[in-house]
Chain A
Amino acid sequence: MRGSLLVVRSGALTTVQDEGRRGVAHLGVPRAGALDLPAMRLANRLVGNELGAAVLETTLDGVDLVLDADRHVAVTGAPAPVTVAARPVAFGLAVLARAGELVEVGRADAGVRSYVAVSGGIDVPAVLGSRSTDILAGLGPEPLRRGASLPLGDTVGRVPAVDFVPYSAPPAVLHLRCVLGPRDDELTAASLELLAVASWTVSPDSNRIGLRLEGPKLERARWQELASEGVVDGSIQVPPDGQPVLFLADHPTTGGYPVVAVVPEPDIWICAQARPGTTVHLHPETARSLAG
């Protein structure tokens, strides 16, 4: 049974996201995909979808929509009030929305990005193996606009009977582990120390490309130019202004400023929920020796 989703209110930035694109970084194509991957997968599991089905990712102020067929809907990620036909319904559980009923996902109480899964998934065409919107590369569907209609896939799985899913609100202070390298030797010893002991603040300029962190200026040990090199998700890059940028899913695939440490999964997922002003503490570890 196919259907479609009509956007009644798009919210600040609502995009279609799945698990993102793999194997195309050598063409300059970022991974993209849901920033909070576990929340996206949970939403899909709740409505009986495959874990990697496409969902909506909202930014701070939710989204309102109407479905033209009876479908289950689940909202996860940043906790937000959810109503169906003006009735408050549970956050983090599958609820049935009848054809024509208004589904409203409100402003997040905490965190940034809520995930809205609809049974059957959002069935826009896949580009390079993913339905994700990639803002940097301009791939995938445009960010949602009022009046837009998105196709829904066939419902496949049964909606599991779940009464309660525990979830924790995004933390007020982020503690992120990171592995030093590949270019930690580009920083002075004092700045490397600062990376670990300073309190960093999430800047309002943060987006799906990266979390910009504000704090003491990190100094380079030398000013030789680095040739561009590949960068991975979670890279902490230090541009000339000395304020680190933590790369998220839409980051460029190469960069010319030193990456001094890398935040691993799963710590990177909670970055998706860090509001501007959030305090971040970095906990660098040394990488296992690669000598051999």
Chain B
Amino acid sequence: MALGIDLGSARAPCDLAARSAVRLLPAAVVVAAAAPQVPSAVSLVVNVRPAGPRALLAELASLGDVQALYDEARRRQEAGLLPGGVEVVPAARTVLFDGLDDVAAFAAQLRAWAPRPSARRAGSRAEIPVVYDGEDLAFVADCWGVRTDEVGDAHTSLLHEVAFIGFSPGFAYLTGLPDAWRVPRLERPRPAVPAGAVGLADEFTGIYPRRSPGGWRLIGRCEVAMWDPARVPPSLLSPGDVVRFVAVRR
């Protein structure tokens, strides 16, 4: 059922002229580059949009700001400074706050929040073994200016972080790709992508929790259950978790 979930959309194919070949960066460099640049006493919220009478969508300038605001919201929630019933849903450039009694009052409060930059987020760590044999490996290698057999090395050299969960239950959007490694989605999404497929889209890496349509560029597959209704919580990953991929030879 495609109810406006981002199944992928028409985009230009990878424009090699616009992308110089990228060298593999050591993970430490990438992490430092990806750390949120947060001024310490200025509101991160660029704009606030109403989402019905009980919710608002806070717009932010970058994914780093989204993560900083989300971490601050969780910190406040744990400290009892946010009403317990409020849902906080981070996404690529927004954080949704749902279940508010007084949206206008909360909007004013939110603008006064000054999230502190945190070098490391509070999530847990996961290691995910991947066989790098995806259908779009050659395309991604072209985009990155590396050989097909180097895509796995490049991908495993990065430290990834769960920005948010969306698209389908347990589908984690992982950041960690340097800007120059962004990959366009398929122009026409595949009608069925198998569970466990590892794909790239834009600045994100994702792992399909279950068989579904999908427009991400597939680079490999893993056997880890990203979503298991029998597990608590069913989602293997939560926003803020740090993920390292490990190449498995096949």
Contacts and interface: CB of A to CB of B under 8 A. Distances in A.
Given A26-B90, A228-B166, A232-B55, A292 B104 contact: yes
A72 to B, nearest CB: 31
Given A179-B52, A262-B51, A25 B91 contact: no
B158 interface: no
Interface string A246-262: 01000111111101001
Interface string A200-219: 00000000011000000000
Contact of A254 (B2, B89, B234): B89
Interface in A230-246: 230-232, 234-235, 237, 239, 245
A254 B1 contact: no
A64 B234 CA distance: 32
A230 B229 contact: no
Interface string A98-124: 000000000000000000000000000
B169 interface: yes
A127 interface: yes
Given A25-B98, A227-B91, 20 more contacts: A24-B233, A26-B238, A26-B239, A27-B235, A28-B165, A28-B171, A29-B234, A137-B229, A138-B210, A179-B52, A182-B49, A228-B5, A230-B166, A234-B52, A235-B51, A245-B3, A245-B4, A252-B4, A254-B165, A259-B51
B235 A235 contact: no
A229 B4 contact: no
Contacts of A253: 89, 165-166
A235 B99 CA distance: 14
A28 B54 contact: no
Interface residues of A, number: 51
Contact-size category for B: 35 or more
Interface stretch (A36-44, A78-86, A283-291): A283-291
B49 A183 contact: yes
B83 to A, nearest CB: 11
A276 interface: no
Contacts of B67: none
B87 A181 contact: no
Interface string B41-52: 000000011111
A163 interface: no
B167 interface: yes
Interface string A118-135: 000000000110000000
